[in-house]
Structure 1
Amino acid sequence: MNNKISVYDKDNFFELYQKLRANPISLNEIIEKPTMLSLLPNLKGKKLLDLGCGTGGHLQLYLERGAAKVIGTDLSEKMLEQAEKDLQKCGQFSGRFSLYHLPIEKLAELPESHFDVITSSFAFHYIENFPTLLSTIHDKLSSNGTLIFSQEHPITTCHKEGERWEKMTKNSKSLIV
């Protein structure tokens, strides 16, 4: 049983997140997603796991690239509900994806294993014990499996309050902080 609650399950937060992700000139769209996709091996016939799959955007791309089966896990029920809706819209994906309401830290409890590729996009910063996670990922990968993940850079998340960037002047010198 999963007793953790995701901040993404709060209505206002989820709606704001959806707007942020819908921005076609976001860092996700112009840097992270193209980079992740460029690192993927040929997915034709492969079994893939996406940790912290969110609304399933990457899962859809993996299926379009020929993955035989994709599995997504996420802590947020709202994210998984949206992923289910979006993936079901594409009828050709029927039977080729599964979604699990499971925190990444409980990956060992996932009933499936032997993945050719495991991915994670901007989710590992939530993990307290990264070495344990890597060990579990190693156990879930097939013998020649691949792990590909992206990580948020602190410059995008380090603001404490107010505007993200502020101009400060001290001794006639300008600083952008």
Structure 2
Amino acid sequence: MTKDEIIEINKKQKEFYNTKNKNFATKIWSKIRHGLLANIRNEIGISNQVYGVHKVWLGNLKDKKVLDLGCFSGNNLSIYLAENAKEYIGLDLSDVGINKLNDRIKHIPNARGVVADFLNDETFSEKNFDIIYAYGVLHHFKNVDVLINRLNEKLADNGVVISYDPLETSIPVKFFRILYRPFQSDKDWEWPFNRKTYYTFRNKFNILDKHGVLGKTKWFFLLNLLPMTNDYKMKKGINWHNIDWNKSKTSEKYMFRCMHLTMLLQKK
């Protein structure tokens, strides 16, 4: 798929996120993703740990030019980035989302939201970013090579990308996605990372750090169905998460058992 073909698909993606017009199957998956899985991440503290390590990776932002890629109306760190960076640009296809973001950051002099396609030079020509923060964004590009080339064009020397994306490398997740995909409203721009995707990023960037989440921990919802004390369940869930977090950092084999992957990537 060429860059121009992706840009055409992104026009449909813009309409989708502006209207949030989802079919029944996509609504069900959204409830699972934003309900069940989000509850697991929040209960066990996974989300806070992910955002915490992202702040560590971001470091001191006072001299940094930051691109918040695909941020819609703002993710959990958008305001933090805007308030602390030397220059902040929030970028999204959706004018609905960016209008909301600009209202939230209007008090910050060096921050602005931009409605544009990341791949389109005519609508987005900014470059030399020290940091590209891409939370739940990179898997929206089917052609990983086109994406990586664009990231490298936009990054300053030694610039970094901080990403967080779904994996489809564990057998139960892959099986579920195969069943779900024919009915998915947003399938044209939803491409969870597979092994090839990960290896492509590994070959083109220096992976300075990484963590997988929801490996063992994805089964926490089953644990909640068993007649055990809440304290025991929580201790078990936290222990599973710690195993996922630590083993995925050093073992790619273990990482591929996880549902989500966050990475700190540095331009070569």
TM-score (norm 1): 0.69
> Within 2, Cα distance between the matches of 1:63 and 1:101?
16
* 1:118-176 Cα shifts (integer Å, max 9, x gaps): 11000111112111111111111111211111112344984738xxx999xxxxxxxxx
1:115 corresponds to? 129
Q: How does 1:92-103 map to 2 (within 5 A)?
A: 93=108, 95-103=109-117
Name the stretch that deviates more: 137-146 or 20-29.
Answer: 20-29
Identity of aligned residues (%): 25
Name the aligned partner's letter for residue 163 of structure 2. Answer: F
* CA distance 1:33–1:103, shift in 2 (3 Å): farther
SS at match of 2:54: helix
Q: Please identify runs of 4+ aligned residues in structure 1 that moved more than 6 A.
A: 21-24
Q: Is 1:79 matched up with 2:97?
A: yes
1:38 corresponds to? 56
> Within 2, Cα distance between the matches of 1:104 and 1:28?
29
* 1:92-128 Cα shifts (integer Å, max 9, x gaps): x1x3112221233336852211111111000111112
Q: How does 1:1-177 map to 2 (within 5 A)?
A: 3-4=11-12, 5-10=14-19, 20=34, 25=42, 29-57=47-75, 58-64=77-83, 66-88=84-106, 91=107, 93=108, 95-106=109-120, 109-154=123-168, 155=173, 158=177, 160=180
How far 1:38 sits from its partner (Å)? 2.5
Contact 2:138 2:165 in 1 (8 A): yes
Contact 1:54 1:76 in 2 (8 A): yes
Q: Which runs of 5+ in 1 are unaligned?
A: 168-177
* CA distance 1:117–1:131, shift in 2 (3 Å): same
**C-alpha RMSD of matched pairs (Å):** 3.6
2:208 corresponds to? none
Contact 2:68 2:88 in 1 (8 A): yes
* Between structures 1 and 2, the one with greater helix share: 2
TM-score (norm 2): 0.48
* 1:60-107 Cα shifts (integer Å, max 9, x gaps): 11133x21111111112221121112112xx2x1x3112221233336
> Within 2, Cα distance between the matches of 1:52 and 1:109?
15
How far 1:28 sits from its partner (Å)? 7.8
SS at match of 1:34: helix
